[in-house]
Amino acid sequence: MKKKENTSRQTAFHRIATTALSLLFLTTVQAQRESKTINDSWKFLQGECPTAIDSAFNDANWTSVHLPHTWNTDAYTEKDYYRGTGWYRRQISIPQSWKEKQIFLKLDAASKAATIYINGKKVGEHTGGYTACTLDITPFCSLNTPNSLAVCVDNSRQDIPPISGDFTFFGGIYRDVWLTAVSKQHFHLTNYGSEGIFISTPKVSEEKGTILIRGDIKNDATQKALLELEHIIYHPNGSIAQSLKQSIQIKAGEQYSFRSETSPILSPQLWTPETPHLYRVESILRDKKTKTVLDQSNHYTGFRWFSFDGERGFSLNGKPYKLRGICRHQDQKPIGVALTDEMHRRDIKLMKEMGANFIRISHYPQDDALLEMCDKLGMLAWEEIPIIDIVPDTPGYTENCERNLREMIRQHYNHPSIITWGYMNEILLVTQRLYKKEEELKPILERTLALANRLEVVLKEEDTTRVSTMAFHGSNSYNEVGLGSITDIVGWNLYQGWYGGNLTGFEQYLEEQHKKYPSHPMIVSEYGAGSDKRLHSLQPHAFDFSIEYQQKYLEHYLPVLEETSYICGGTHWNFIDFSSALRDESMPRINNKGLVYSNRTPKDIYYYYKAAWRQDIPVLHIASRDWTHRSGIQHGKEPVILPVKIYTNLPEVELFIDGKSLGKQKTKNFAVTFEVPFCQKEHFIAAKAENRKAVQDISFVEDGIRLNFTPIPANLNGTNLRDLELAINVGSYCFYTSDESNLTWLPDQPYTENGWGYIGGESKSSQIQIKNTNDGPLFQTLRNGIEGYRFDVPNGVYEIEFLFTDIFRENAITVYQLGRNSDVENRENRFDIIINDQTIEESFSSCRESDYFHALRKRYNITNFRNKIEIRFSVRNGKSFLNGIKLRKLY
C-alpha cells in the first residue's frame, strides 16, 4: 500500500517536472539563437594519433584539460619548445530541441592549424592561429547519441604565418570554443568566422551621422522562406533612435545580401577614447507570417572619423590627436597564451589607467574580449596579421596570409576602436640578413612586393573605411624597394640607443624620414629597452638591462613623440614582459621591454607614462618599487647619497626621509630626482606635492615607501667585517640583487689604497644564457684581461669565492639582437690564481671545469697574515677574466 502511494506520488512529481521542462523547452524553441562555450571536459594528447578521430577511440589515458589551453608552457624554460601536433577530444550531446536547427561549431583560435572531425568524418580545416573559424556541423551530428569531436592542432606548419618572429608560437586551442544552434534561416555565420553582419558609418560629422548595415542571410531549409529583417538602432542611453524594416524572400538553400542605411542621426554622440559613446545595432530576423524570431544579433558601433597626415599627424573627429599607444603581446607567465577573457580585459584597463589611447595589437589578431574593451573603455586600435621578417616561398603561404587578413577584417570589422589594419612587420629584417647578394635578394624582394600589393588590394576590398599600415625597422631600404609607397601609413620600429647608436639618433632618424618623404604619415610603431628588476645602475647604459637605463631611454623618447607634430604617435614596445623562447639576455625566454612585468605588476616606468598622459588626475609615484634593496659604499659614518626619483604630473615635489624634509624641487619631464642620505637598515621615504586646481581648491597628494639599505664600508676593518658579505659584480656598473638570496652584488670599482677593487683589464659582457644558475646577469658581465683583485683587510681567516663563466666562444646569436655580441673572440683561456703569493689554482680553465656559458663558483678558505688579500691572475694561455668575487671574514 505504502509502496503504491509512493509510486503515484513519484508519477505526479514526474508529470509536473515534465510540464515544467516542456515549458522551458517551448521558451527555448522561441529563443532565436543559442550559443554556449564548450570549454570543459576535453581530453588532450601531445603528439600524433590519427585513430583519435574514431568515435570508439578510448581517450581515457589522455590528459583532462579545460580550455583555453596551450601545450607550450615549456617555452618558458626551453628554447626548443614543442612544435608539432596535439589532439583534443570531447563528446558533444545535441539536445532534441535542436532537431530543426542549424548547428555551428566555432573555434576562437587554435594555433596554428586545426582539422576538425566529428564521428570519424572530417568536417573542415582552418589555417591560421589567431583568427576564428566557424563550421556548420549539422550534417555530421546525431541527436540520439553523443557525438565524438576530435580536433588535431598543429603549430609547426611553415605555410602559415608567422614563420619567424621574436615571440613564441604557442600551440593549442587557446581561446574559447562555441556551440551555436539557430533556425534554418539565419545570418551568415560561416562568413570567414565573422557574425555575417558588417556595420559602418558612411556619413559622419558633428551635425549628423548615418549607419550602414550589410550582411547575408542564409536559408538552410528545404522550402523557400518569407522573412522580415529589422535593425533597431539604440542611442548610447538605450533609447531607440531608429528602426529599419524590410521583407525578404529566400529560396531553399539560397542566400540573400542585405544593405540598409539609416536616415541621418542628428548631433550624434561622437566616439573618442575619452568619450566612448556606443550606439547599438540590433538585427532581428523574423518569420514574416508568425513573427517568430528566427535569429538575432547585436553589435556596437560608434560615430568617429579620423585622418592621418604627413605634416599634421593624426586627427580624430577633426581635431589634432596624438596617438599615445602601446603594443601588446598576449601571453602571461607561466600559463602562456591560454588567458581567460578577464585577463585580456584587465590589460586594457591597465593601459587605460596609464592614460594610453591607442593600442597596436601586435603582431596578430587577438581575443574578442580585448576588442570589446577597446570599444567600451575607449582605446583606438591597430590590428595586424603576423607576416614577419621574411616572405617564404612555401606553397600556400600567400593564400593563408590573404585569408587570415580577410578573417581578421571581417571578424573585427564592427569595432569602432579599430582605425588601421596592418599586414607586415620588419619584413626586410631577416630577408637582408640572409641574402646579401643582389641576385639572391631580387626574387625575394619581388615576392615580398607582390604579396604586399596583393594584400593591400584585399585590405581595401574588405574595408574602405580604414587605412593600411606596415611596420619597418630603421632602414630606408623599405622606401628604396617600394614598400613605403604601398601602405597608407608607415610605422617605424626604432631602437636607437638600444641595439645601437645614441638616443638622439631617434629624432634624427625621424627628421630625415620626414624630409625625404614629407607626405608619409608616420607612427613610431615600436621603441623600447629591456629592464630587469634585479639590475640597477647609477651610470646606466644600453644593454645593461638595468631598470634605470629603460627609464633613461623612455624619458628621452616620449617627449620627442609628444612634441613632434608630424608624428602621428607611438606605440611602446611592449606593454608586457613577454615570452620569446629564442631570446637569452638577462631573463632567458623573456623579452623584458615591458612597462609591466609578465604578471602585470607595473614597473616604475609605467608611472612615467601615467604622469605624462593622465591630465585628469594627479599622479605622484616614488619610482623605487623596483629598487627596494639599496646598497652603497659608506665612508666612515657619513650617510650614503643615493638618488630617489619621483614620477609626477604636479609642478613641485617635497621629499621626506623618516619624516625629515629634504626640500622641494621643480618637476621636469614628469620627473624629480632627490639625492637622499641613506644610513640605516630601513628608511621611510615620503613624497608630497600640492595639487592646485584653483586658488581656493588646493589639496595634497602623497606617496610613501619603505626602502632597505645595506651600507658597505669603504675601508674594511675587524669590526665592520664581522657581519659583512662583500659581494662584487665584477665587470659591471650594475648592482645585482639575487632573487633567491636577496644578496646585492655591488658594481665593480678599481682598487684604491685602504679599499678594495680590481686591477687591470676591461669590462665585457655577453647576452647568452648562462647555464647552472638563476643569477645569469651576474655571470654575463666580466673583467677581461684582469690582472688582479685586492682587498686591504686585517689579518684573519677569510672565505673567498670566485665566480667564473667562459664566454669566449662564438655562439649563434639571435637575429633580434641586431648584431650585438658578434665581437666575441674565440680563444682558450688558462691562468694561475695566486692569493698572497700562494698559487691556489694552476692553469685554471673555467670552460674545462664547467663548460662555456656555464656558471662556476669556487670557494677558498685562506689565512691572511699580511693585512691585505692580494689576488693575482697569471696567464698561461689566452687571457684571464673574472665574473664575480665575494669575501667574508670567518675568524
The residues of the shown chain that bind ligand GCB, judged by CB under 6 A, are: 165-166, 425-426, 473, 493, 526, 573, 591, 593, 816
Q: Which of the listed partners (ligand GCB, Ca ion, none) does 781 bind, with a CB threshold of 5 to 8 Å by partner kind?
A: Ca ion
- Distance in angstroms (rounded) separating the CA atoms of residues 701 and 604: 18
Q: Which does 532 bind (CB under 5 to 8 A by kind): ligand GCB, Ca ion, none?
A: none
Name which of 808 and 816 has its Cβ closer to ligand GCB. Answer: 816
The smaller minimum CB distance to Ca ion, of residues 425 and 883, is found at 883
Q: How far is the CB of 781 from Ca ion (least distance, A)?
A: 4
Helix (H) or strand (E) holding 797: strand 796-804
Shortest distance in whole angstroms from residue 805 CB to Ca ion = 9
Asked if 137 and 105 count as a contact pair (C-beta separation under 8 A), the reply is: yes
Cα dihedral 527, 532, 533, 536 sign: negative
Residue 424's beta-bridge partner residues? none
Residue 731 binds: one of ligand GCB, Ca ion, none (C-beta under 5 to 8 A by kind): Ca ion
d(CA 641, CA 653) in angstroms, rounded, equals: 19
How near is the Cβ of 586 to Ca ion at its closest, in Å?
12
Q: Is 586 in the site for Ca ion (CB under 5 A)?
A: no
Query: Shortest CA distance to 783 belongs to which of 801, 798, 799, 765?
Result: 765
Least gap, CB of 508 to ligand GCB (angstroms):
19
Options 239-247, 309-317, 350-358, 877-885: segment touching Ca ion (CB under 5 A): 877-885
User: Which is closer to ligand GCB, CB of 166 or CB of 703?
Assistant: 166
Coil, helix or strand at residue 563 = helix
What would the DSSP string read from start to end of 129-184? SSS-EEEE-GGG--SSSPEEEEEEEES--SSSS-SS-SS----EE-S-EEEEEE-S
Q: Which residue is nearest to Ca ion (CB)?
A: 781
Peptide bond into 334 cis (omega under 30): yes
What is the phi-psi region of residue 240: left when phi exceeds 0, alpha when psi lies from -120 to 50, beta otherwise?
A: beta
Q: How far apart are the first and last CA of the chain?
A: 95
Q: Which residues of 233-242 are buried (b: 16+ CB within 10 A; e: fewer)?
A: bbbbeeeebb
Cβ nearer to ligand GCB, comparing 705 with 815: 815
Query: Pick from ligand GCB, Ca ion, none: which does 76 bind, CB < 5 to 8 A by kind?
Result: none
Closest of 561, 649, 657, 552 to residue 605, by C-alpha: 552
729 binds, among Ca ion, ligand GCB, none (CB under 5 to 8 A by kind): Ca ion
Q: How far is the CB of 853 from Ca ion (least distance, A)?
A: 14
Phi, psi at residue 714, to the nearest 5°? -70, -40
Which of Ca ion, ligand GCB, none is residue 773 near (CB under 5 to 8 Å by kind)? none
Residue number, nearest CB to ligand GCB? 166
799: Cβ contacts below 8 Å, ≥ 6 apart: 859, 860, 861, 886, 887, 888, 890
Q: How many CB atoms lie within 10 A of CB 724?
A: 16
Shortest Å distance, C-beta 620 to ligand GCB: 30
Q: How far is the CB of 567 from ligand GCB (least distance, A)?
A: 18
When CB distances are held under 5 to 8 angstroms depending on the partner's kind, the choice from ligand GCB, Ca ion, none that residue 883 binds is Ca ion
DSSP structure class, residue 213: E
Residue of 591, 583, 592 whose CA lies nearest to 769: 583
Binding-residue total with Ca ion (CB under 5 A): 7
Distance CA 309, CA 471 (A): 17
CB of 854 to Ca ion, least distance (A): 15
Alpha helices in 135-216 (DSSP H): none
Q: Which does 493 bind (CB under 5 to 8 A by kind): Ca ion, ligand GCB, none?
A: ligand GCB
297 near Ca ion, judged by CB under 5 A: no
CB closer to Ca ion, 524 vs 730: 730
Distance CA 665, CA 760 (A): 41
Within 635-733, strands assigned E span: 640-648, 652-657, 660-666, 671-678, 682-694, 697-713, 726-729
- Residue 624: CB minimum distance to Ca ion, A: 24
How many Å apart are CA 591 and CA 594, to the nearest integer? Answer: 8
Task: Give the alpha-carbon dihedral of 808, 809, 811, 815, to 10 degrees.
Answer: 40
Nearer to ligand GCB, 389 or 792 (CB): 389
Binding of residue 781 to Ca ion (CB under 5 A): yes
Cα(60)–Cα(497) distance, integer angstroms: 55
556 is in the binding site of which of ligand GCB, Ca ion, none (Cβ under 5 to 8 A by kind)?
A: none
CB of 165 to ligand GCB, least distance (A): 6
CB 473 to ligand GCB: min, Å: 6
Q: Which stretch binds Ca ion (CB under 5 A): 258-266, 556-564, 697-705, 781-789?
A: 781-789
Q: Nearest CA to 518 among 310, 338, 271?
A: 310
Near Ca ion by CB under 5 A, which window of 265-273, 325-333, 549-557, 721-729?
A: 721-729
Residue 576 DSSP one-character state: B
Residue-by-residue DSSP string for 391-459: ----TTHHHHHHHHHHHHHHHHTT-TTEEEEEEEESTTHHHHHH--SHHHHHHHHHHHHHHHHHHHHHH
Comparing CB distances to ligand GCB, the nearer of 281 and 470 is 470
**Of 430 and 653, CB closest to ligand GCB:** 430
Please say which residue, 593 or 872, places its beta carbon nearer to ligand GCB. Answer: 593
**604-371-126 Cα angle (round to 5):** 120
For residue 103, which of 138, 144, 139, 140 has the smallest C-alpha distance?
Answer: 138
Q: Which is nearer to ligand GCB, 128 or 165 (CB)?
A: 165
Residue 341 C-beta: closest distance to ligand GCB, Å = 25
User: Closest approach of Cβ 777 to Ca ion, in Å?
Assistant: 8
Least Cβ distance, residue 848 to ligand GCB (angstroms):
35
Nearer to Ca ion, 690 or 851 (CB): 851
Name the segment binding Ca ion (CB under 5 A); options: 349-357, 674-682, 724-732, 861-869.
Answer: 724-732
Decide which of Ca ion, ligand GCB, none touches 552; Cβ closer than 5 to 8 Å per partner kind.
none
Among all chains, which residue has been given the C-alpha cell 606548419?
A: 157
Q: Looking at beta carbons only, is 164 or 766 nearer to ligand GCB?
A: 164
Closest CB 471 distance from ligand GCB, rounded Å? 6
Count Cα atoms within 13 angstroms, Cβ side, for 794.
10
Considering the complex, state which of residue 241 and residue 734 has its C-beta at the smaller distance from Ca ion.
734
Q: Quote the CA–CA distance of 752 and 388 in Å, as a whole number.
A: 52
Distance between CA 692 and CA 701 in Å, rounded?
10
883 sits near Ca ion (criterion: CB under 5 A): yes
What's the min distance (Å) between Cβ of 782 and Ca ion? 6
549 versus 816: smaller Cβ distance to ligand GCB = 816
Q: 820 is in the binding site of which of Ca ion, ligand GCB, none (Cβ under 5 to 8 A by kind)? A: none
Which position among 134, 168, 537, 729 is part of the footprint of Ca ion (CB under 5 A)?
A: 729
Sole window of 59-67, 316-324, 482-490, 727-735 interacting with Ca ion (rule: CB under 5 A): 727-735
Helix (H) / strand (E) containing 30: helix 2-30
Q: Which does 593 bind (CB under 5 to 8 A by kind): ligand GCB, Ca ion, none?
A: ligand GCB
| Partner that binds at residue 816, options Ca ion, ligand GCB, none, CB closer than 5 to 8 Å by kind | ligand GCB
Partner whose binding site includes residue 166, from Ca ion, ligand GCB, none (CB under 5 to 8 Å by kind): ligand GCB
Q: Do residues 670 and 620 make contact, with C-beta atoms less than 8 angstroms apart?
A: no
Residue number with CB closer to Ca ion (530 or 731)? 731
Residue 290, C-beta contacts closer than 8 angstroms, at least 6 positions apart: none
- Kindly state the smallest distance separating residue 484's Cβ from ligand GCB, in Å: 17
Radius of gyration, alpha carbons of the chain = 32
Binding of Ca ion by 731 (CB under 5 A): yes
Residues that bind Ca ion (CB under 5 A): 729-732, 781, 883-884
